[in-house]
Amino acid sequence: MNLLLHIVRQLANAIGLLFAVLVLNFCLIHAAPGDPAMVIAGEMGGASADVIAALRIKYGLDKSLFEQLFTYMSKVVTGDFGFSYYFNEPVVSLILQRIPATLYLVIAALVMSVVIGTLLGVVSARKPNGLFSQGVTVIALAGYAAPVFWTGLMLLLLFGSVWPILPVSGMIDVVRPKTGFAHVLDIIQHLILPSTTLALVFIAQYSRLARVNMIDALTADYVRTARAKGLPETIVIGKHALRNTLIPIVTVAGLQFGHLFAGAVLVETVFSWPGMGRLVFDSILRRDYPTLLAVLFFSAVLVMAANIVTDLVYRLIDPRIRSGAR
């Protein structure tokens, strides 16, 4: 029951924060230099003074700021985030079309980085001063320092011209469209390079985190007890120590969802992946403010959702919190 209450409280908090994001969006548009009516006129390709005055009335720009905020909010609540003149489509439908592609990319990268990062960290923690461990440290440093878009371009160069075994652009093979299972395989093939690029940054961080925590865990009393009980090493590490190593990784992975998303914007641009990142790039290029601000809002929704899921996973892994909640 307590858990349910906790979730309800979290959702209420999330809604409050998202409401604040909308207010921020509204303030940003009004704080930005330039008159919104002129901006809209610009998007339409220019307009006369009469048309601009008409636009002002049509969009309520002649009303007080507070009234405008109220209008904006009531529109957003009904799912109206404005219209993109460049794409000639409502912003919401634009974003909803792009969310799946971004989620494929982000989730693939997340899973890859948590699994590989933890594995590297755990293995290297067994011999903290060994060759493998030092190799992992070097990889972690390099992965952290390399700009994600640069890594992407390097892989594009490698697989685009030197060793062309993987598709380097888009999400599907447009020349030979496939159906059914072949279609899924096609997407997975296209996903390999972008997701690996994005994952490299986080593999670096998680392997470092896993290594430090595993080294700590291996000297802890409960691990000594487990060993003294005569448990095989695989169970000591795989069950007892790993659980405590995973807690900080899950926390950090959840908190970094925003960074992951931002990284996706860059990676999508490199590999022409048709997700929200690509949409951001296009809307920056066209100064398409409604789309840009709506993407900011939807990304906040995704981050919020990720935080709530992280919190739940955290409870699953950490029995102390779980029993406390009951």
Partner 1 sequence: MTSIDTPALPRDASTLPSRPAISPTLVALRQFCRSPSGVAGAAVLLILVLTTVFGPHFYGIDPLDLVDAPFTPPGEDAWLGTDYLGRDILAGLIHGGRATLTVGGVAAIITIAIGVTIGSLSGFFGGVIDTALVKITEFFQILPPLLFAMVLVTLFGQTLTTVTIAIGVVSWPTAARLTRAEFLRLRNLDFVKASRAAGAGNGHLILRVVLPNALPPIIVSATMAIGVAILFEGGLSFLGLGDPNTMSWGLMIGQNRNYVLDGWWTVIFPGAAIFVAVLAISLIGDGINDAINPRLRKRG
Q: Which residues bind partner 1 (CB under 8 A)?
A: 17-18, 20-21, 24, 28-29, 31-33, 128-129, 133, 141-142, 144-150, 153-154, 156-157, 160-161, 212, 215, 255, 258-259, 261-263, 265-266, 269-270, 280-281, 284-285, 287, 289, 292-293, 295-296, 299-300, 303-304, 307
Which phi and psi angles does 199 have, rounded to 5°?
-70, -30
CB nearer to partner 1: give 202 or 261. Answer: 261
Min separation Cβ 181 and partner 1, Å: 32
Distance between CA 92 and CA 98 in Å, rounded?
10
Q: How many CB atoms are located within 10 Å of the residue 226 CB? A: 19
Min separation Cβ 299 and partner 1, Å: 5
Find out whether 43 and 291 touch, Cβ atoms under 8 Å. no
Distance between CA 44 and CA 280 in Å, rounded?
20
Find out whether 254 and 310 touch, Cβ atoms under 8 Å. yes
CB nearer to partner 1: give 287 or 322. Answer: 287
CB nearer to partner 1: give 8 or 23. Answer: 23
Min separation Cβ 83 and partner 1, Å: 18
CB nearer to partner 1: give 92 or 230. Answer: 92
Min separation Cβ 292 and partner 1, Å: 6
Min separation Cβ 285 and partner 1, Å: 7
Find out whether 84 and 90 touch, Cβ atoms under 8 Å. yes
CB nearer to partner 1: give 123 or 270. Answer: 270
CB nearer to partner 1: give 90 or 160. Answer: 160
Distance between CA 121 and CA 140 in Å, rounded?
10
Q: Distance of CA 3 to CAs 13, 103, 208, 320, 325, Å? A: 15, 27, 32, 14, 6
Q: Distance of CA 234 to CAs 95, 207, 237, Å? A: 46, 19, 5
Strand ranges, E, within 107-241: none
